[in-house]
Structure formats: structure tokens, C-alpha cells
Amino acid sequence: MSLDPAYLAYPRRRLGYDHDLYDWSNIHARPPVRWPGGRPVAVWPCIVAEFFPLTPSDRPFRAPGHMQTPFPDYRHYTARDYGNRIGIHRLLDALGARGIRGSVAMNVAVAERCPALLDAVSAGGHELVAYARTMNDGIDSSLAAEEEEAIIADTRRRWQALGRAPSGWRSVARSQSWRTADLLLAHGFSWMADWPNDELPYRFRNGIINLPLNHELSDRQIILVAQASAEGWAEQIADAAEWLAAEAARQGSGRLLPLELTPYVLGLPYRIGALEALIDRLLARGDCWFAPGGTIVAEWERQQPSPPA
């Protein structure tokens, strides 16, 4: 039985990509990027502060890390809540003790429920990144346009009610629809962290900038999914830093190393030491520039040709 010819007809298929959101670009052929101090690797610490409702939503999908066992799943719920009660403060302390500022991608429900946590993030000089309302706010192209816009618009409104206006956005599970980039721009976001397909920021055709937050480097992926130890995770990140620095030296252009840090994973007392040792190791290299996501985006943008009007 042969396939219906329409099966192979895809209107977005073209050279390089199957979409027109941004142009094909080989990292080796772009103008060089120079990070401050001539350091080749920009290290982006990004803590995720997540609120998993006790009842998960499976529409359009259940977010990774969500409740697993029959309702009420107190075991997983309280394990996640441990991250926002205890673990995140250990991560903030690890950065603060070393004079490092990073980003905190936060569900706005966490900020509303835990004002002391929001104060701690601000006191450390860390940047807030909007991360939807809760971990039930998944987005994909099966979601109605008005539902997706409601997620983004309501997230913005609730942050403004708290006196904050994050410029960066991260989607639940890094999932978007074809509309997301335009909706983010329309609601006041200038950059996002959903597309992990690069090691430098890049610009979409509509003007929004993507800062790649590679899930393969996240503590949750390496420790919980791949079942590595915290020390194994740290060794892999250190290997990545060494490789990126050498590649940047060969090609004469900087690279990005994102550190996605999950409070209920690395914030546990038997894992936090691995993070502290890793940060000390990266600092001792002398070639890593630690900065919040928005600062990295601004430095990259400063060095780029002006986008077309």
C-alpha cells in the first residue's frame, strides 16, 4: 500500500529549517562575540522556581516533573515544595557567597505565595525571568490562540501587580506554538529561553532574542533522568566548560554555558556541595564570565549589527 501523496506535502519544508521563525545560521560563520574581560565562556546560572499544582493538567500535556501517583500525590508535591522552602535558599547562598548574580525563572504563583522568597532573590541582585503562572501552563500548537495569550498576558499582569516587569520568558517544558514568539513580544518580553539549539543568543525574524537554555545540561536531566550523581553532573559541566573554552579560542568567538539549577534536585544537603565545588572550579579557571541571562543578551546585542527595520 502506497502513501497518499499528501502525506509528504508539508508547506513549511525548506532548506535549513521547516519554519520561517528565524534564518538558518551556522555558529562558525557569524561575526565573533567577545565577552567582558576577553573571557571565552559566558556562564548563565538559572535557578528554576516552580509551582506544581496538586492536580496536574494533561492539556495540552503534563509538564515534566509533575505529580505522578494517584491523587493526592503528597509525596511528589512536598518534594517539589521542599525546593521552594529550603533548596532554593542553598542555591542562592552558593551564588551569593561567591559574588555571582544569576537568573531565577519563577512561576508567578511562587512569587505570590512566597513573598519572602521573592525578597531573597531581589536581595541577591538576581534577575527574574517570567515562567508562566504554574507548571500547569503548558503551551503547544493544539492550544487555542486565546488560551495561549491568556497564559502570557495573565503572567505579565500578575508580575506587574507585584511591582516587577521581567524582560525574559521561559515556557513550561520549553514548549511553544507557532504563535508564541509573537505573543511574547506583544506582551512586553524581549527575550526567551525556550529553543536550546545553539551556544549563543540569536534573533528571531520578529525581533525577539532567544537565549539557549540547553536541557541536556540541566541538573534535572543529568541527575534524575540520566541517573548520574551530583558529582557526575558537576564533572560533565566542567568538561563542557573546558571544551567550550578551547573551541572559543580556536574560532575566536565566545560561547554560552547555561547552568539550569533545580532547587529540589541540587538543593538537597548531599548534593549542594557538588554545586559549590563546581562553581569554585569554574571561577578558578579564570576564563568564565558569570552573568544573568538578560545581561548576556544585552552584551550580545550590543555587538550585533542593528536588526532590519
* Alpha carbon distances (Å) from 192 to 13, 153, 263, 302: 25, 15, 21, 17
Is residue 292 very low, low, confident or very high in pLDDT (cuts 50, 70, 90)?
very high
Q: How far is CA 271 from the centre of its chain?
A: 21
Give the per-residue pLDDT at 1.
Answer: 58
> What are the tens digits of pLDDT across the range 127-164?
999 999 999 999 999 999 999 999 999 999 999 999 99
Give the per-residue pLDDT at 2.
Answer: 73
Residue 130 CB partners (closer than 8 Å, separation 6+): 105, 106, 108, 155, 156, 159, 166, 168, 169, 170, 189
d(CA 205, CA 309): 11
> What are the tens digits of pLDDT across the range 67-87?
999 999 999 999 999 999 999
Give the per-residue pLDDT at 19.
Answer: 86
Give the side-chain half-sphere CA count within 13 A for 126. Answer: 30
> What are the tens digits of pLDDT across the range 273-290?
999 999 999 999 999 999
- Tell me the average pLDDT across 177-199: 97
Of 159, 168, 174, whose CA–CA distance to 104 is shortest? 168
Give the per-residue pLDDT at 308.
Answer: 60
One-letter amino acid for residue 87 of the chain: G
Give the per-residue pLDDT at 5.
Answer: 76
CATH superfamily of 35-302: Glycoside hydrolase/deacetylase (3.20.20.370)
Handedness of CA 107, 113, 117, 118 (dihedral sign): positive
Is residue 208 very low, low, confident or very high in pLDDT (cuts 50, 70, 90)?
very high
Of 17, 80, 42, whose CA–CA distance to 294 is shortest? 42
Give the per-residue pLDDT at 309.
Answer: 58
Mapped onto helix, strand or coil, the DSSP state of residue 127 is: strand
Domain ranges for the chain: 35-302
